[in-house]
Structure formats: C-alpha cells, structure tokens
Copies of this chain bind each other. A is one copy, B any other.
Amino acid sequence: MSVNAKHEAREETPLRVALLGCGVVGASVARLLVEGRDDFAARIGRPLDVVGVAVRRLGRDRRDTGLPDELFTTDAEELVTRADIVVEVIGGIEPARSLILRAFEHGASVVTANKALLAEDGPRLYEAARAHGVDLYYEASVAGAIPLLRPLRESLAGDDVRTVLGIVNGTTNYVLDKMDSTGQGFAEAVEQAQALGYAEADPTADVEGFDAAAKAAILASLAFHSRVTAPDVYREGISEVTASDVRAAAEMDCVVKLLAICERQQREDGGQGISVRVHPAMIPRSHPLASVREAFNAVFVEAEAAGELMFYGPGAGGDPTASAVLGDVVAVARHRVGGGLGPAESAYADLPVLPMGQTRTRYYLSLDVADRPGVLAQVAEAFSRHGVSIQQVRQTVAADDRSSAELVIVTHRATDEALGATVREIGDLDVVVGVSSVMRVEGE
C-alpha cells in the first residue's frame, strides 16, 4: 500500500520549489530534498521538484547538493516567478525582501530562515502574503532545529504566555559556557570559539546580542499577539562579562547566560505591556536553562494554563536548520494540495513595549567596601531612597586585607531605572571602594 501511495504521488504534477541561496543552510535543504524525494511526495501527496537554485556566484562546486549544474542561476528575480514554493536562505535584508515580495506577487508561498529580515520588516511581509493569499513560514529563523514558533503560534494559541526566556544564540552560549567551565576570560573564550567554528571571524552580531535581539522580536510578536520589531528590543551583549562576573555567579550557585527575554508586565498606568530585552543574566544552576551547554539552544516558556515548558535542541548548523525549513516546506506544500493557509499574523492584542527603564528586573551587585561599622547602613539607605528592596545581603572580609570587605547584594524586582540610579549612587559612596560586578538576575 505504501508503495502504491508513493507511486501515485509521484505521478501527480510536482510542486515547483525555488531555492534562493545555497550556502550552509541552502546546500542542506537541497540535498535533503533530493534524498527524500519519495518521502516528500508521500507526505505531501505531490512530489517536490527543485526548479532552480539562485546563488551569487556560479562555477563553484555544488555537487554535494545532488542537483545538476544547470539548475544554478544568478537570476533570482526570474527564478521566483516560476515556483509554487520559494525557500529564501540568502539572509540579510536585500535582495531577500524584494525577492520574497516578488514571489508573493507571482503566487508563491515562501519559507525563510531570515531572522534579520523578519525582525526588521515582518509585518509588511505578513500583510503582503495575506494579500496574495499565500503562506509565509519561518520556523528556522529562531532556534534552528527546535520546533518553537509553531508551538507558540499554534499549540499555545488557546493559552496566554507570561514569559519567554531563551538561549537563542549558540555562539554566546558556547563562550559563556567555556568561561564558566574553565575560568577563561571573554577574549580567550571567543578565540577558542572561533578556532572551533562556533564564532565567526567578526563575532559582533553574536556577542553584542544583535542576533538574539532579532529573535526576541520574533518571539515576542508571536507570544503576545503584538508587533515587536528589532529596534524595540533593549540589547546588551556579553563583551563586558568578565571572568570575575562568572566566578561571582558561581559563588551564588548561578550561571551567566545571554538571554532573550519576553515578558508580560504591568505598566505604571495599570495596563498591560511587554518587556522585550536581550542581556546577560545570572540564573540559578537549578533552572532548566542553566544546564544548556556549548552551542545548544533552549527556550523556556511560561503560560497561564500550560505552566512551565521547555524546548531544547541545536540552534544552528546546515542540517538542523534545514530540518526546520523542510517542516515548513511540507506545511505550505500541503496547503497547496489540500487548500487552506497557515494561521495569519495575530497582532490584535497590540501591547506596547515598555521602555527598559520601566521594566522590572532583579539585580546582583558585588561591592568592595571599607570594613568598618555603618557601611551596610549607608548602602542600604541608598537602595531604600530609590524604593529598591533588598532580598539578600552577604558580607565577607578579605582574608589578606582586613581593611576592606566584599558586600554582595541581590535585590527584589524593581524598575531598571531605579536599579540603575541606585547602582550609580552606591558607586559614589565614600565607603565603597569599587563595584566589581553588576548583573541582572532572572529565572525565579
């Protein structure tokens, strides 16, 4: 029976797939489409034919894809006009955006892995897809192989998401994990990551949090049925994280992770808002995200009815990312065969993004203070003046230096503004010799 089903499916007119880009992800997509031809046909009900692959330069060896040379072209504009499904894995804003819009105009559905473009101009693309009655799918744009956007957009469509906490950048997780496990400093860990292929020659987009911020915008839009774009996301990278920050975290039984955080919060006027931010944070070692090692990704989601969920897996790489792309290809192909469209953009809730200053977070501070009576009182007073309440405080006298002590403070949740002002004021106190670590605390 399965043989018949396969056979029948193969007889049907194939769906035409155009591949834009044949790099790390594109080459895997091509190869898997060729190798899995019979399975795709059986799963969809019609076979998939790769009708062309657009690249920047012809003449490179593309034999690993299993596709004949004549399918490769530099004329992407023409290619998208003769496809039912366009897979965009070029990356960047242009020409990716124009090609996607052009594909819609010619009636093609689009699958993309392009987080930068979606975070910058998602709403325009969703609208264009809708206007032309075609699909736009982008599971691979966040957290690579991990099924995450479909669960948020569909499985949790009957629930209300409270928080999304994600490790969505493999490079920075690799760097922070090495700093934690070896005691290395930032620069050294980055070099090692580069040597092993986990970080690019210019690691800025990763270590400064741009990549994670684009993903945070996509996640927040889906989780909160609102429009969030990259410029709405508060962003701090990990280049200022020191070996001593990581050690301080370890002393608190915490690890430092670069997190993409999307949270529903109360606004000062009582309404609902969302905080969307990317920054390094301490999380307790007992938190499910703490054990995410090396370049793996994981996303923790808390929803009103579902409770705490976690999704874990490889966040990048050719084949893992292609897995997500191909899941989307099957979905849009099934719509071609059976009718219907995937869920449209849902932005009805239209929640405002809170400015970082109004976002409520917790802080960890480690201070070098003079070891004399009254120091704690002065420090505590500065907190109280800004309405920040202290959750935990610990003072240790340095073994080798009886005149100074270390004061470690963890606050309750307060606005980032109040916390920032408190830290500045404390740094100026006479009794404070220096502020050795300041970091936000998440995950409780």
A343 CB contact (under 8 Å) in B311, B324, B334:
B334
- B313 contacts A160, C-beta separation under 8 Å: no
- A327 contacts B155, C-beta separation under 8 Å: yes
Q: Is A350 an interface residue (CB 8 A)?
A: yes
Tell me the minimal C-beta distance from A332 to chain B in angstroms: 11
**Residue on B with the closest CB to A328?**
B158
Chain A, residues 66-84, CB within 8 Å of chain B (1/0): the string is 0000000000000000000
- B145 contacts A306, C-beta separation under 8 Å: yes
**Residue on B with the closest CB to A40?**
B158
**Residue on B with the closest CB to A45?**
B344
Q: Is A320 an interface residue (CB 8 A)?
A: yes
- A6 contacts B348, C-beta separation under 8 Å: yes
A154 CB contact (under 8 Å) in B150, B159, B160, B317:
B150
Q: Is A346 an interface residue (CB 8 A)?
A: yes
C-alpha gap A304/B344 in the complex (Å): 30
With A311-B311, A339-B340, A340-B338 known as contacts, the answer to whether A159 contacts B327 (CB < 8 A) is: yes
- A341 contacts B341, C-beta separation under 8 Å: no
Please tell me the number of chain A residues within 8 Å of chain B, measured between CB atoms.
65
Q: Is A309 an interface residue (CB 8 A)?
A: yes
- B150 contacts A323, C-beta separation under 8 Å: no
- B348 contacts A2, C-beta separation under 8 Å: yes
Q: Is A331 an interface residue (CB 8 A)?
A: yes
In A315-331, the 8 Å CB interface with B consists of 317, 319-320, 322-331
Q: Is A303 an interface residue (CB 8 A)?
A: yes
In A53-75, the 8 Å CB interface with B consists of none
C-alpha gap A43/B347 in the complex (Å): 9
Q: List B contacts of A5 (CB < 8 A).
A: 348
Q: Is A203 an interface residue (CB 8 A)?
A: no
Chain A, residues 167-203, CB within 8 Å of chain B (1/0): the string is 0000000000000000000000000000000000000
Q: Is A377 an interface residue (CB 8 A)?
A: no
- A313 contacts B306, C-beta separation under 8 Å: yes
Q: Is A139 an interface residue (CB 8 A)?
A: yes
Q: Is A91 an interface residue (CB 8 A)?
A: no
In A1-17, the 8 Å CB interface with B consists of 1-2, 5-6
Q: List B contacts of A147 (CB < 8 A).
A: 147, 150-151, 154-156, 309
C-alpha gap A349/B131 in the complex (Å): 37
Q: List B contacts of A160 (CB < 8 A).
A: 36, 39
**Residue on B with the closest CB to A322?**
B305
With A1-B350, A334-B343 known as contacts, the answer to whether A305 contacts B32 (CB < 8 A) is: yes
Between A146, A344, A347, the greatest number of chain B beta carbons within 10 A of the residue's beta carbon is seen for A146
- B1 contacts A157, C-beta separation under 8 Å: no
Q: Is A355 an interface residue (CB 8 A)?
A: no
Q: List B contacts of A306 (CB < 8 A).
A: 145, 313-314, 319-320, 323-324
- B145 contacts A309, C-beta separation under 8 Å: yes
Tell me the minimal C-beta distance from A120 to chain B in angstroms: 21
C-alpha gap A395/B322 in the complex (Å): 47
Q: Is A308 an interface residue (CB 8 A)?
A: yes
Tell me the minimal C-beta distance from A293 to chain B in angstroms: 10
- A313 contacts B310, C-beta separation under 8 Å: yes
- B43 contacts A157, C-beta separation under 8 Å: yes
- B145 contacts A331, C-beta separation under 8 Å: no
List 17 interface pairs A-B (beta carbons < 8 Å), by A numbering.
Answer: A32-B305, A36-B158, A42-B225, A43-B157, A43-B346, A43-B348, A150-B150, A151-B151, A157-B331, A159-B327, A305-B320, A306-B313, A307-B319, A308-B313, A310-B310, A331-B343, A338-B341
6 nearest A-B residue pairs (beta carbon): A340-B340, A158-B326, A147-B155, A147-B151, A306-B323, A145-B306
